[in-house]
Amino acid sequence: MYYGRTRSALAIARAAAARRLLRFATMLRAGLAQKLVAILLLLAVCGCKGIAPSNVRDWSPDQAKLPTVEFNRDKITFHNVRYCNYLTADNYVTHYEDRTYDLGGVQSVDFIVVPFPNMPAMAHTMLSFGFDNGEYLAVSVEIRRENGESYDPARGMANGYEIMYVAGDERDLIKLRTHHRLDEVYVYRTRATPEQARAMLLSVAARMNHLAKEPEFYNTLLNNCTTNIIEHINTIQPGIVPLDARMLLPGFSARMAYDLGLLVDYGGFEETTRRALINSKAYQASDENFSQAIRQR
């Protein structure tokens, strides 16, 4: 197995991690920041693989291909969009395809939260972009698993995994969690305008192309699903999401987004969250109208 043990690549990875640490240290209160940085550095020193991130490993089939993006005037093409057909969470047929969209057709971006069972302070977060033709493209930032690997938060603190973006069909990324992992899935409508949603999609596309060329390590606290989404938001609207301790606990990310006015309000956070839970709709939806059915109010 090739591990890419190059000094330059390792230096880049360490510099990226250091930049994230500094962002947290400078924006949190000094006392908390010092404790946080000390803990993170200790974990990094004790647990680091000591190797550079790589895109060449024995990957799990559902994460074997990285998405990349091409631009052609007003068109955007996503390569390696995933659509797995699942029999169980671990038994599936993997299919990848290219999908081309009109940039002018981007209408919306939804924020998806999947709380960890029995650990509501932790969650997986995703985005889904809606187009004027009724199609949706879901994006999930994940650890990139090698064959036989599973997620371990402690290992994720110690350069145990590379990070990847999955571009996928909602019938893959959402149904995997509702139907096979039996997770609760919340789809929140954001207040993003079509122009903002388009800018967010372009930011995500640029990040996909960057990771295809320059792999990075996942980090449980600093380079994960939620922190990447926040960076995309702050890229198109600098400073709109201030650093908040809830970033370290993604299970509270929907509340943070609501408090910042980023979500459509349906009469209070509790009612907004109740409407966002789509499991019962997902179980009744057909494949033909899945994305539309889970959004019915």
Residue 97 in this model has a pLDDT that exceeds 80: yes
State percent of the chain over pLDDT 90: 77
Give residue 248's pLDDT. Answer: 81
Over residues 122-170, the pLDDT tens digits come to 999 999 999 999 999 999 999 999 999 999 989 999 999 999 999 999 9
Q: How far apart are CA 184 and CA 259, in angstroms?
A: 22
As a whole number, the mean pLDDT across the chain is 88
Residue 191 identity (one-letter amino acid): R
Residue 122 Rama label (left phi>0; alpha psi -120 to 50; beta):
beta
Q: How far apart are CA 93 and CA 85, in angstroms?
A: 5
Residue 50 in this model has a pLDDT that exceeds 90: no
Instruction: Tell me which range, 15-24, 49-58, 63-72, is most confidently predicted by mean pLDDT.
Output: 63-72
Give residue 12's pLDDT. Answer: 52
State percent of the chain over pLDDT 70: 83
Give residue 36's pLDDT. Answer: 56
**Nearest CA-CA partner of 237 in 109, 133, 112, 134:** 109
Higher pLDDT, residue 170 or 32 = 170
Least confident of 42-56, 99-113, 120-134: 42-56
Higher pLDDT, residue 4 or 182 = 182
Q: Which pLDDT band, with edges at 50, 70 and 90, does 43 fall under? A: low
Burial classification of residue 31, based on how many CB atoms lie within 10 Å of its CB (0-12 exposed, 13-18 middle, 19 or more buried)? exposed
The mean pLDDT value for 218-228 works out to 94
Give residue 285's pLDDT. Answer: 96
Tokens of 98: 């290219």
Give residue 38's pLDDT. Answer: 53
The mean pLDDT value for 186-197 works out to 98
Give residue 188's pLDDT. Answer: 98
Q: Which pLDDT band, with edges at 50, 70 and 90, does 51 fall under? A: confident
- Is residue 217 within 8 A of residue 162, CB to CB? The reply is yes
